[in-house]
């Protein structure tokens, strides 16, 4: 009696045994649906209806027999075979007209507690793939999204989550080339020869990322974010200067950080290569420690140099008067004859050459106040000793021993 009431309350369609039989058989006959579809639409279909529905397995008007076609899963396996990945998710796309027929059935037969075609297929394909893939199903931020598109001609489409690698490089030769020249064929506008990057294949680190690395990683050409602009003529040591590579598509995503070569171009060594979970870590600010040796063309004392740095606030003014405040801190100054050795900690984004008064900043940007007046000093040597993520506290303070 309780069971009867339960059913009665939950099912708006007539619930006596005789009527129910009639109803589900009528549904099968009217819409020519298979037993798989019948089971997800009606909780306990009658045997008579099920037997009739079985005859529509190869011609079901709703599911187009997808649950009975093994080759669909095989196609998905082929589509994801080029990738190495850890996590995936499954989506299903259906033609609107099929979904409309289903809505019509649901309304006409006043169905409740049914599983929709889309959800039913998705669950079915998820289970089928779980049997043959060793990777983990993950709904949020999967590496691959396997889309079964039944809306037109059946196709499996793979959507990849973008992939980031962080690389730290050290530069032990001051004349190692970091940035690529413009492509000669198109003068930077982008052409077939430069793969539409506008950059030449000239043996620089940047050209290594554009021309050599995609072949090694089986990837698209990465978008490159430099944590620091290269300081021309400097060396870079310590933990190295970070670069972020952003790939739209990459086949070898699991091994990628391991197969990045250590010595990409002459004078440059990668000391770190790791994959990143998100792009958040790419927008950090950095602090670097630099060591400069300057030739003094006029006599300058240690005190004078310290006084000029003062509180260490530098103002950068960009286009349309946009202003950035940056910090510099002097760690050590020593003067011997006409040579000055400076250890400085500074925020990223400051054009060092403009700041020490050796070169004008690019026209759109000014750096004030400059440390030296024109011709007061000339640069002998500049080294980036260390680059640190500003938000990582208490790590990587590799200051030289003599610095305080
Ligand atoms: Zn069906
Ligand atoms: Zn070009």
Mean pLDDT for the stretch of residues 326-337? 93
Q: How far is the CA of 201 from the centre of ligand 2 (A)?
A: 10
353 and 293 in one domain?
A: yes
Whole-number Å distance, alpha carbon 117 to ligand 1 midpoint, is 8
Domain identity same for 10 and 155:
yes
198 touches 186 (CB < 8 A): yes
CATH number at residue 31: 3.30.2300.10
For residue 195, give the ligand nearest its CA.
2
**Is 1 part of a structural domain of the chain?**
no
How far away, in angstroms, is 233 Cα from ligand 2 center?
A: 27
Q: Is 256 part of a structural domain of the chain? A: yes
Pair (12, 154) in one structural domain = yes
* pLDDT exceeds cutoff 70 at 391: no
User: Rounded distance, CA 11 to CA 13, Å?
Assistant: 5
Domain boundary among 138, 160, 182: 160
Proportion of the chain above pLDDT 70, given as a percent: 88
CA-to-CA separations, 291 to 15, 345, 346, in angstroms, rounded = 86, 9, 11
- Does residue 17 lie in a domain region? yes
Q: Cα(92)–Cα(89) distance, rounded to whole angstroms?
A: 10
Give tens-digit pLDDT for 257-272.
899 999 999 999 999 8
Asked if 72 and 38 sit in the same domain, the reply is yes
- Is the domain of 264 the same as that of 195? yes
Give pLDDT tens digits for 295-306. Answer: 999 999 999 999
Burial of 281 (0-12, 13-18, 19+ CB in 10 A): middle
pLDDT at site 7: 47
The predicted structure's pLDDT at residue 185 = 96
CA of 88 to the centre of ligand 1 (A): 26
Please give the Cα distance from 173 to 269 (Å, whole number).
10
Are 154 and 201 found together in one domain? no
Q: Which ligand is nearest to the CA of 194?
A: 2
Ligand nearest to the CA of 193: 2
Look at residue 403 and tell me if it is in a domain: no
Residues 224 and 325 in one domain: no
265 and 314 assigned to the same domain: no
Confidence of residue 374 (pLDDT cuts 50, 70, 90): confident
Residue 259, domain CATH? 3.30.70.2510
Burial class (CB in 10 A: 0-12, 13-18, 19+), 69: middle
Give the number of residues written for the chain: 404
Kindly state whether residue 231 falls inside one of the protein's structural domains.
yes
C-alpha pair distances (Å), 209 with each of 259, 273, 360: 13, 13, 30
Position 13 pLDDT exceeds 60: no
Q: Do the domain assignments include residue 351?
A: yes
Predicted local distance difference test score (pLDDT) of residue 136? 94
Residue 286's pLDDT band, with cuts at 50, 70 and 90, is confident
My answer on whether 237 and 311 are in the same domain is no
Domain encompassing residue 201: 163-281
**pLDDT higher than threshold 70 for residue 375:** yes
Beta strands in 24-101 (DSSP E): 87-93
Judged by DSSP in three states, 357 sits in coil
Report the separation in Å between the CA atom of 46 and the middle of ligand 1, taken as the mean of its atom positions: 16
In-domain check, residue 124 = yes
Ligand 2 centroid vs 218 CA: distance in angstroms?
Answer: 22
pLDDT at 93 over 90: yes
178 and 148: one domain? no
Domain termination residue (choose one: 160, 193, 227): 160
Average pLDDT over residues 206-229: 94
- How far apart, in Å, do the first and last CA atoms of the chain sit? 87
The CATH number of the domain where 314 resides is what?
3.30.70.3190
> pLDDT tens, 148-191?
999 878 899 999 999 999 899 999 999 999 999 999 999 999 99
Is the link from the previous residue into 329 a cis peptide, with omega within 30 of 0? no
Instruction: Report the number of distinct structural domains present in the chain.
Output: 3
Q: How far is the CA of 157 from the centre of ligand 1 (A)?
A: 23
Q: Cα(254)–Cα(349) distance, rounded to whole angstroms?
A: 33
In a domain, 402, yes or no: no
Quick one: which ligand is closest to 33's CA?
1
Could you tell me if 32 and 128 lie in one domain? yes
Beta bridge partners of 270: 169
269, 337, 331, 274: which is closest to 305 by C-alpha? 331
The confidence band for 279, taking pLDDT boundaries of 50, 70 and 90, is low
Angstrom distance (rounded) from CA 307 to CA 296: 17
| Residue-level pLDDT at 16 | 47
Residue where a domain stops, chosen among 256, 281, 306: 281
Ligand with the closest atom to the CA of 31: 1
Tell me how far CA of residue 62 lies from CA of 22, 115, 152, 179, in angstroms: 21, 13, 14, 57
367 and 269 housed in the same domain:
no
């Amino acid at each position: 009696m309780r069971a009867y009431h339960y059913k009665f309350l939950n099912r708006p369609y007539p619930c006596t045994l005789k009527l129910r039989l009639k109803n589900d058989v009528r549904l099968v006959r009217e819409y020519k649906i298979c037993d798989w579809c019948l089971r997800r639409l009606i909780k306990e279909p009658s045997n008579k209806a099920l037997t009739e529905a079985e005859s529509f397995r190869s011609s079901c008007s709703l599911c187009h027999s997808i649950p009975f076609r093994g080759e669909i899963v095989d196609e998905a396996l082929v589509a994801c075979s080029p990738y190495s990945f850890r996590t995936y998710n499954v989506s299903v796309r259906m033609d609107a007209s099929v979904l409309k027929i289903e809505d019509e059935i649901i309304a006409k037969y006043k169905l409740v507690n049914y599983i929709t075609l889309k959800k039913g297929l998705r669950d079915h394909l998820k289970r089928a793939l779980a049997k043959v893939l060793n990777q983990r199903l993950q709904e949020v931020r999967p590496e691959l999204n396997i889309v079964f598109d039944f809306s037109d001609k059946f196709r499996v489409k793979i959507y990849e989550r973008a992939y980031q690698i962080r690389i730290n490089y050290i530069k032990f030769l001051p004349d190692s080339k970091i940035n690529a020249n413009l492509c000669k064929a198109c003068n930077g506008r982008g052409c077939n020869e430069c793969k539409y990057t506008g950059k030449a294949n000239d043996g620089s680190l940047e050209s290594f990322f554009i021309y050599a690395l995609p072949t090694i990683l089986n990837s698209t050409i990465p978008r490159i974010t430099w944590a620091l602009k290269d300081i021309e003529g400097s060396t870079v040591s310590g933990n190295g200067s970070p670069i972020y590579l952003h790939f739209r598509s990459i086949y070898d995503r699991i091994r990628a950080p391991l197969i990045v070569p250590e010595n990409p171009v002459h004078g440059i060594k990668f000391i770190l290569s790791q994959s990143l979970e998100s792009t958040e870590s790419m927008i950090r600010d950095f602090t670097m420690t630099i060591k400069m040796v300057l030739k003094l063309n006029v006599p300058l004392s240690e005190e004078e140099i310290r006084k000029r740095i003062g509180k260490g606030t530098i103002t950068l003014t960009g286009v349309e008067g946009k202003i950035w405040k940056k910090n510099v801190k002097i760690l050590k100054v020593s003067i011997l004859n006409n040579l000055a050795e400076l250890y400085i900690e500074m925020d990223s984004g400051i054009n060092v050459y403009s700041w020490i008064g050796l070169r004008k900043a690019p026209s759109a940007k000014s750096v004030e106040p400059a440390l030296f007046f024109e011709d007061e000093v000339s640069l002998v040597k500049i080294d980036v000793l260390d680059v640190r993520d500003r938000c990582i506290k208490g790590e990587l303070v590799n200051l030289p021993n003599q610095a305080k």
